[in-house]
Structure 1
Amino acid sequence: MVSRLSSSVVSRLLSLNCTSTCAPISSIAHQYRSASTSPNLNEVVIVSAVRTPIGSFRESLASVPAVKLGAAAIKACLERAKIPTNRVQEVYMGNVVQAGVGQAPARQASLYAGLTQETLCTTVNKVCASGMKAIMIAGGMESMSNASYYFPRGDTPYGNLQMEDGIAKDGLVDACDRIPMGLCAEQTAKKYNLTRADQDAFAKLSYERTARAWKEGKFNAEIVPITVTTKKR
């Protein structure tokens, strides 16, 4: 959650009894124009930062769609910063695997979080950098567990139809070179002479550090709990 100088600052400046020494109104308006278009964001501050837990593929969070995960993070972000939902002017949410999520994922997450319909919402798809557009509320949401399989639209041929995995198509395969991200990692390892043992040792250390951090409560301040509704048997 980021904030900037509000439009009330402009109102106060324009209400001053300016003499000929005052800056032109046009320059004042330019200085305090919308943060989304200003080239110099010197007054931007981060007032709250949270995230949901990261679930395993098709496991505990599989029933929760990406927009609900995003909504939970937005709601907690505002609550912790004590900012009313009707004061939020813009929402930027990153989302990569959008097929099957529905129209306007950022708008969905915004409404589920209780924000008003007047709030401007933009969904960003910049692959792994999708959550980095830091204007007002900025975040990312993803649920690979709910990614769809695709059938190409058109005449149905005789014989079998082949489905395409949405995770691979829109998430894990490079759109230009048509190679999986895992192969990019292998090429990088080869380029820098990183052995399989080196990679395994690094991965093991990363998991151990994460497990220790969870146990010691290092993530407590940033994690938003997610409620999963299950059917009674």
Structure 2
Amino acid sequence: MSINKVYICDAIRTPIGRFGGVFKNLSPLDLAVPLIQHLVSKNSEIPKYLDELIVGQGYGTPEAANIGKALALDAELPDHVCGYTVDRRCASGLQAIIDATMMIQTGKANLIIAGGAESLSQAPFYSSKIRWGSFGDLTLKDSLKYGRIYANGQKNPILGGMLETAENLRREYQISRQEQDELAYQSHMKACKAIEQGKFKKEILPISVKGRLIEQDEHPRQDTTLEQLAKLKPILEKDDAEATVTAGNSSGQNDAAAFCLIASEEMANQLGLQPIAEIIDWAVAGVPSAVMGIGPVPAIQKVLKNTGLSLSDIDRIEINEAFAVQLIACTKALNFSERELQKLNVNGSGISLGHPIGATGARIMTTLINELNSTSSHYGLISMCIGGGQGMAAIIKSINH
């Protein structure tokens, strides 16, 4: 069977809202509908030929039980457009794009919108014991808390959640608190510089909130200092006197949506769509759940081997900053040179821009494509760690017009 080429012909995202911030009253559908409508508005033929809408999401609710199809309906797409939801935790948005890639490669589809939508501000509290009656006080569980604890399965829960896995990497790779805070500081400075230079304007669709137009990311902090970061207490210090992971050197909990229009070469030509990137290859790899943050290492090694490329061939590298310690561990394990470090997360990442779980992979893809094309660069690498002990990576090639 021949493998069809797969192109991203458009990519767009919302600004990223802080936890409990400007988007706290908007559902994932509220965030995503304007993006879908924007993508299809550029060409009247797109809705006619659109096969699927694939949405990554980590913390959904029954109000959009299958957000993929719910989004297709709320965005007023034709009834023939199918939709489904993907959950590979932090890589959900990238997995949605890869699902679209595989469908187009094998000829099962020609035109797909794929990405992710998440509102961690609206992540539900729940109870699994009310339906059949209960005695005594009613207790609700926080899905954000238990989603992290049980990402490792119910037989071996990680009581400290992802924080515990980050501290495990700190021990294994002997990473200091100072190193982590320095990376966090630099992440905010990169993101704020990118905002000041207008780097994200092309990739962001402004969102209206109560008559106010939100046009830029809310999470980056221009006033961040190393002194402030150093004063923050480690979150697990009660259980570990040597703990180093703080709220300041960890990724944010955020609200956002991001989507790509993905097409076969035949469909792009038929509709006159201009490809902006080609998806070259991808890989996923498993690691021990206790050190889930090291997941990008084998995933990156795998995709580089598959493509015959090396890190020196890659012009821009994006590894999501779930934690500063996790990213540092990955760069050490991959033996990053100074040149490779300079290509890494050049506009900030999860610590500064935020980490809207289900949307993060698509957000990074959108930003990476924009960065490659604006700098006339060629190859881009995207990767992230995944709760439960996985890593995912993909390589794209820009198409500069």
Tell me whether the two structures share a fold, i.e. TM-score over 0.5.
yes
Q: C-alpha separation between the residues in 1 aligned to 2:148 and 2:210?
A: 27
Structural mapping, 1:57-136, within 5 Å: 57-80=19-42, 84-132=46-94, 133-134=96-97, 135=100, 136=112
Shift in alpha-carbon separation, 1:82–1:117, aligned structure 2, 3 A: closer
Q: CA deviation at 1:171?
A: 5.4
Q: 2:134 aligns with which of 156, 164, 179?
A: 156
TM-score for the superposition, normalised by structure 1: 0.75
- Say yes or no: does 1:146 pair with 2:125: no
- Contact 2:72 / 2:82 at 8 angstroms: preserved in 1? no
- Contact 1:131 / 1:140 at 8 angstroms: preserved in 2? yes
Structure 2 equivalent of residue 181 of structure 1: 162
- Structure 1 residue runs of 5 or longer lacking an equivalent are 1-29, 32-39
Shift in alpha-carbon separation, 1:83–1:61, aligned structure 2, 3 A: farther
Per chain length, whose mean CA-contact separation is higher, i.e. which structure has more relative contact order (CA < 8 Å, sep 6+)?
A: 2
- Contact 1:62 / 1:143 at 8 angstroms: preserved in 2? yes
Q: C-alpha separation between the residues in 2 aligned to 1:198 and 1:60?
A: 31
Shift in alpha-carbon separation, 1:99–1:223, aligned structure 2, 3 A: same
Computed over aligned residues only, the root mean square deviation of the Cα atoms, in angstroms, reads 2.0
Q: C-alpha separation between the residues in 2 aligned to 1:202 and 1:172?
A: 26
Shift in alpha-carbon separation, 1:172–1:200, aligned structure 2, 3 A: farther
Q: C-alpha separation between the residues in 1 aligned to 2:39 and 2:172?
A: 41
- Contact 1:68 / 1:109 at 8 angstroms: preserved in 2? no
Q: CA deviation at 1:148?
A: 1.2
- Structure 2 residue runs of 5 or longer lacking an equivalent are 101-111, 212-401
Q: Give every structure 1 segment of 4 or more consecutive aligned residues whose post-TM-superposition deviation is greater than 4 Å.
A: 80-83
Q: 2:143 aligns with which of 166, 171, 191?
A: 166
Shift in alpha-carbon separation, 1:172–1:210, aligned structure 2, 3 A: farther
Structure 2 equivalent of residue 46 of structure 1: 8
Q: Which amino acid aligns with 2:147?
A: D
Secondary structure of the equivalent of 2:151?
Answer: coil
- Say yes or no: does 1:198 pair with 2:179: yes
- Please give the per-residue CA displacement for 1:164-205, whole angstroms capped at 9, x wherever unaligned: 001222357524242211221121122111111111110111
Q: CA deviation at 1:107?
A: 1.2
Q: Which amino acid aligns with 2:114?
A: A
Shift in alpha-carbon separation, 1:175–1:161, aligned structure 2, 3 A: farther
Structure 1 equivalent of residue 193 of structure 2: 212
Q: C-alpha separation between the residues in 1 aligned to 2:209 and 2:68?
A: 21
- Contact 1:97 / 1:171 at 8 angstroms: preserved in 2? no
- Contact 1:73 / 1:224 at 8 angstroms: preserved in 2? yes
TM-score for the superposition, normalised by structure 2: 0.45
Q: Which amino acid aligns with 1:157?
A: F
Secondary structure of the equivalent of 1:168?
Answer: helix
Q: CA deviation at 1:215?
A: 1.1
The structure with more radius of gyration: 1
- Contact 1:48 / 1:78 at 8 angstroms: preserved in 2? no
Q: C-alpha separation between the residues in 1 aligned to 2:43 and 2:194?
A: 24
Q: C-alpha separation between the residues in 2 aligned to 1:169 and 1:62?
A: 21
Q: CA deviation at 1:99?
A: 2.8
Q: C-alpha separation between the residues in 2 aligned to 1:68 and 1:57?
A: 16
- Contact 2:149 / 2:157 at 8 angstroms: preserved in 1? no
Calculate percent identity across the aligned residue pairs.
Answer: 28
Shift in alpha-carbon separation, 1:101–1:147, aligned structure 2, 3 A: farther
- Contact 1:48 / 1:81 at 8 angstroms: preserved in 2? no
Question: Which region of structure 1 is more displaced relative to structure 2, 211-220 or 162-171?
Answer: 162-171
